[in-house]
Structures are given as structure tokens and as C-alpha cells.
Amino acid sequence: MKKIVIALAILLLFTAPWIVSSPFFIHLMIMVLMWTVLGASWNILGGFTGQVSFGHATFLGAGAYTTMILYLKLGIAPWYGIPIGGLVAALIALPIGFICFRLRGPYFALSTLAVAEIIRLVALNWESFTNGPVGLLITTLPDVTFWGRSIDWENKIPFYYIIAVIALGAIVATYIMSRTRLGAYSLAIREDIDSAEAIGINTVQARVAALSLSAFFAGVAGGFYAMYLRYIDPDAVFSIALSVEMVFIAVVGGLTTVAGPLIGAIVLVTFGETFRQIFLVGHLIFYGLMMMIVIRYLPEGIWGKLRLWFGN
Amino acid sequence: METFVQSIVSGILTGSLYAMIGVGLTVIFGVMRIINMAHGDMVMFGMYGAFLSITFLKIDPFLSIILWIPIAFLIGVLIYRFLLKNIVPAGELNTLLYTAGLSLFIANLVLLIATGDYRTIKLKYAVIPLRPFGISVPIPLAIAFGMAILITIALYWFLVRTDTGRAIRATSQEPEAAALMGVNVDRMAIITFALGTALACGAGVLLAPSLYLYPTVGEILVAKCFVIVVLGGLGSVPGAIAGGLLLGVVESLGAVYVSVPYKDAIGFVIFLLVLLFRPSGLFGVGKS
């Protein structure tokens, strides 16, 4: 039964652009999937390891800038730039992890916020490298032929398939991680870090590994963001608001669940983007409201609650 | 030398307001162990309050503080009673996430009502700065400084001299022992949260004539506020005052001697260093 549902979901994922073709809807689905990747990224650290980060925009920004700079300065196409961006984000995560994981709980959260703000200010002021507040812009993407047909980058559908593959990858990676030693270590750390330490888990190493994996996906999503929107600036990709949005997607969907970020992204992004179409500003009002409702009444998140119901 | 004195003076003027915001956050943390992410939005609320007063009621923003502090106190009571009370027992991380949600909600509500436009308050008497001893002192900041000092002294007197103040400090030190001594811990929590909110809002009213107003200003203010309270030691009122003044001076010296764009980063770097090497704050009085 479970396998059939998963197979149907994957089938639906790859046939959706044929079923509905309205550009707004495809844009919406691209946004939902991009936020699924970001939510999944945050969930790997915040859900499984229980380390609340308010600075994940750092990794998104690192991925976005890597992809953009590689393309603009060295001519490396974004589809190579996106995974490289993920790797750069994962590398940046190492020193950040070794510094910030000396702190626990809310103090860790505040330290990631501070690191993210420092990096945003650096990106804003290191003009020779990042072009500062003006941002970076790509006008055309290189030609690619896929099965003998040249891809039309003005159409949204190729982007849909790229992000669909990335999102599937992020969800599969979460599933695999939950089954491995790292997943078990993470849960032990989340439940009681001192006991985890006492039974011989190197908690700093395990947390840094989780952070690095998490940063990889945030970086990949950042690279995709740069390629899809074709414009980035420090306030767009390094802002506190972005970090907070990732937290919300993961928490509202359901922490420590494999499908939670997808559900969180479907609920929040659909409402948010629709709201934005109508009112133009203030689309995050719904994020705040949902967060408060979820923490108060559904601490296991929407998907966590649904899973409990189905389980019974 | 003159630039040095000048930047110390402007640092202290801004720092006094930082201190006022920081004191609000730190008393809330001390009594309830809440890291209130929505604290910056209370400052934003005060700033818009001052703006409304001068635009619609034609009341001077500095006078309007008499109106806004009680309103903010009441809002604090309501927020605590109806939103936070049931969350606090769920732990520090849940309250952190919950208040982050609250913060996003408030900021976006204001964004919907007031739009994202940058607004300023222009005061007739604020055009020419005072020049005592050749140092330039903007009048609105000087008035705000004076009022911030008065309010902080009043708060200090309240915490040290009154029974309620003593009960609040007792709860902050050891909630269980305080409860055993007959202190109504829950009532202290309401009063403290409302007091913290009123302080943040009051600081917002005082800051409004010197800053740009926009709905998401709370985001950056709350980040600075964490720097201040961690510098001084979380939960410590004198620590927050010292931390606020210190951050003000560091920022203004940094802007002159390091670089203007990086002045905000200096605060965060110090913040990280203090968190890592002196988690109980520079003066070793905070709770970690």
C-alpha cells in the first residue's frame, strides 16, 4: 500500500506539467519544490539532530553565489554550478559547525543568526567579488540539447523537471540518512546530548556531519534559485527572513519526518504565493500564524499528525 | 581627538536606547526563560505609535510616550495571557520558534496595513543640532537619551525598592524557591512580560524621530538586542544597560575607525566571541 502511494506520488511529480499547463501553476509548483528542498535541508539538522538554526540562508546564499559567479566569471554552466554550489555550502558549514556547536539549544540558534548576519554583511560589502548590493544578473542561459531537442529556457517546464529531481534527491537523502548510523546518532543527540556523549558518540562530529549534509541541499536549492530567477543580491539570498522561512516549512510540515517538508511547503508556499498574487506584500503573515498554531496545537507538525491518524 | 569624543558621545546616546530595549528582553528572559524573538516588533510598534501620534493626533512623539507605554503594557498582558502562557512550559526552543512566528505575524500585519514604505518623522525643533563644546548632538537623540535614563532609573527603583520588584527579582533568581516563599510566579510572569514589552515600545517611540520606520525594522533590532543581552549576561539588568552602551559606542567607533559598512558586523563578531569564551557575559553575572 505504502509503496503504491509513493509510486503514484513520483508519477504525479513527473507528469504534473502535462496535466496542468497554466504558467502560474507551474511557477507555484517550482516554488513548492524549491522550498521542499530547503525545508528538507533544515529538517536534516533541525529535525533529526534537534539543533535549531536561524542561519540557513548562509548556505542558500553560498550556493546561489557560487553558481552565479562560476557562470558569469568562468563560464561554467549552472547545471554544473548547482552541485558545486552545494559542495561549497557543505564546506562552509564545516568551520561554522565547529564554532557554533560549542553552544547548545537557544544559544546555538542565536550564534547561527549572528554568523548569517556577518556573512550577509560581507557579501554586501565585498563588491569586487559579489558585486555588492547591485547583485548579479544572468541574461541568457547556455544552449543545451536534450535527446536531440534544444531546451527552451524561456519556458518554465525544464526548471520544473530540474527542481523535481533535486527535491526527490533531498527526500531520498533524508530517508537514507534516517536509516544510517548518522541518523541514529542524530536522534540520540536530539533526545539527550549528554547521554549521547556518555555512550561514546562524538557529538560534535555527528552534528557537523548533519549540518554539512543539510548545507549541501540548501546550497543546491540556492544554485537553483539563482538559475531560475536569474538575479540575486545579498538581501535576497542571505536575509534572516529566508532562514526563518526554512524553519517554518520544516516545523509546520513535521520535524523528523521524511515527507514533512514537502507537506509544509505545499501548505505554506501555496497559501503564501496565492496571497502574494492578491495583496502583493505581507505573504508571510500566514507563515507566522501557522507556526503559532502548529507549536500550540500540533507539535508533531501537519504530516506528523496525519501519519499518527493513518497509523491508527 | 575631537572625532573620538564625538563618536563616544553619539555612541552613548544611541546606546542608552539600545540599553532600554535590552533591559526589556533580559527581564523577560530572566523570569520566564523566553528568548522573545518578537521583542524587536514591539520596538517597531512604538515607532509606528510615535508616527501615528504626530501625523494624526498632532502630538509630539516624545509626549506621546505617556500614551503608548500603558497601551504596550496592556498588549504585553494580552500577548502573555492568551498566546504565550501555554507555550512557556514546552521549553526554550518551542518558545523561540513560537515567538519567531509571532514576530513574522506582527511584522507582516503592519506591512499589510502600512505598506513597506520607509517613513520618517520630521520635528520642527530638530533641524539644527546642539553644539556643546564643539560636539554635535542631534536634539531628538538628546531628548531620547534623557528620557531613556529617566525610564531606566524608574525601572531600577521599581525592581529594587518595591515589593513587586523584589518578587520579580526573586522569581528570576530561583522560581521554585520564590513560589515557596509565597510569590505568585504566574502573576510575576505577566507583569514582567508586560513591563518588557512596554520598555521596548517606549524605546521605539524615543527612537522613531532618529531612524527610518519600516515594518520589518524589528528584524535587525532584535538581532542587536541579542548581542546586547549576551554581552551583559542574559538575565542581568545592569548587564543589559552596560551591554547597550557598549554596543552603541563600539558601533560608532567602528563606523569611524574601521568602516561604515562593517559597523553592524563588529557587534556580531563580539557577540560570537562572548558566546564562545564568556557565555555568562562580560561581567560574569548572566545565566548560561
Q: Which residues does B191 contact at the CB level (< 8 Å), separation at least 6? A: B164, B168
Supply angle C-alpha B122, B125, B130, rounded to 5.
115
**In a domain? residue B159:** yes
Q: For residues B45 and B165, is the Cβ–Cβ distance under 8 A?
A: no
Q: Is B161 exposed, middle or buried (0-12, 13-18, 19+ CB in 10 A)?
A: exposed
- Please give the residue that has the higher pLDDT: either B203 or B258: B203
Parent domain of B93: 2-112+131-277
Q: How far is CA A110 from CA A51, A104, A202, in A?
A: 11, 10, 23
Please give the mean pLDDT across all residues of chain A: 89
At residue A153, φ and ψ (nearest 5 deg) are -75, -10
Q: Grid coordinates in use for A74? A: 568562468
Q: Is the pLDDT of residue A111 over 70?
A: yes
Going from N- to C-terminal start, the domains of chain A cover 26-311
Contact list, B279 vs chain A (CB under 8 Å): 103, 107
Q: End-to-end alpha-carbon separation of chain A, Å?
A: 15
**In a domain? residue B192:** yes
What value of ipTM does the predicted structure carry? Answer: 0.86
Name the packing angle between helices B217-232 and B263-277 (round to 10°): 40
Q: What is the CATH number of the domain that holds B64?
A: 1.10.3470
- Taken as a whole, chain B contains a residue count of 288
Tally C-beta pairs within 8 A across A and B.
127
Q: Does A124 touch chain B (CB under 8 A)?
A: yes
Q: Which residues does A255 contact at the CB level (< 8 Å), separation at least 6? A: A43, A46, A47, A300, A301, A304
Domain count, chain B: 1
pLDDT, tens digit, for every residue of B133-168? Answer: 777 778 888 888 999 999 999 998 998 899 898 888
Q: Is the pLDDT of residue A41 over 90?
A: yes
Q: Does A248 touch chain B (CB under 8 A)?
A: yes
**C-alpha B139: how far from its chain's center?**
21
pLDDT of residue B285: 58
pLDDT of residue B194: 94
Q: Does B276 touch chain A (CB under 8 A)?
A: yes
Q: How far is CA A298 from CA A270, A290, A293, A305, B63, in A?
A: 20, 10, 7, 7, 44
Supply angle C-alpha A19, A24, A28, rounded to 5.
85
Assessment of whether the complete model's pTM goes beyond 0.80? yes
Contact list, A244 vs chain B (CB under 8 Å): 100, 104
At residue B211, φ and ψ (nearest 5 deg) are -125, 165
- CATH number of the domain located at residue range(s) A26-311 in this protein: 1.10.3470
**In a domain? residue B282:** no
Place of cell 554596543: B247
Q: End-to-end alpha-carbon separation of chain B, Å?
A: 39
**In a domain? residue B120:** no
pLDDT of residue A312: 59
Q: How far apart are CA A177 and CA A256, in angstroms?
A: 11
Which candidate in A49, A204, A285, A298 is best for mutational testing of the B interface (most B CBs within 10 A)?
A285
At residue A136, φ and ψ (nearest 5 deg) are -120, 145
**In a domain? residue B184:** yes
pLDDT of residue B216: 84
Place of cell 521583542: B39
pLDDT band at B263 (very low <50, low <70, confident <90, very high): confident
Q: Does A292 touch chain B (CB under 8 A)?
A: yes
Which candidate in A58, A101, A292, A293 is best for mutational testing of the B interface (most B CBs within 10 A)?
A292
Q: Whose CA is closest to A226, among A240, A211, A214, A236? A: A236
pLDDT of residue B20: 92
Q: Which residues does A200 contact at the CB level (< 8 Å), separation at least 6? A: none
Q: Is the pLDDT of residue A148 over 70?
A: no
Q: Does B97 touch chain A (CB under 8 A)?
A: yes
Nearest chain B residue to A251 by CA distance is B97
Phi-psi region of B215 (alpha: psi -120 to 50; beta: other; left: phi over 0): alpha
Q: Is the pLDDT of residue A154 over 80?
A: no
pLDDT, tens digit, for every residue of B39-89? Answer: 999 999 999 999 988 888 888 888 889 899 999 999 999 999 888 888 888
**C-alpha B187: how far from its chain's center?**
22
pLDDT, tens digit, for every residue of B187-235? Answer: 888 999 999 999 999 999 999 888 888 888 888 888 888 889 888 888 8
Which candidate in B93, B227, B263, B276 is best for mutational testing of the A interface (most A CBs within 10 A)?
B93
Q: Does B92 touch chain A (CB under 8 A)?
A: yes
pLDDT, tens digit, for every residue of A191-245? Answer: 889 999 899 999 999 999 999 999 999 999 999 999 999 999 998 899 888 999 9
**In a domain? residue B26:** yes
Across the range B27-31, mean pLDDT stands at 87
**In a domain? residue B138:** yes
Smallest Cα distance from A62 to chain B, Å: 18
**In a domain? residue B125:** no
User: Are B111 and A105 in contact (CB < 8 Å)?
Assistant: no
Q: Does A247 touch chain B (CB under 8 A)?
A: yes
Q: Is the pLDDT of residue B124 over 90?
A: no
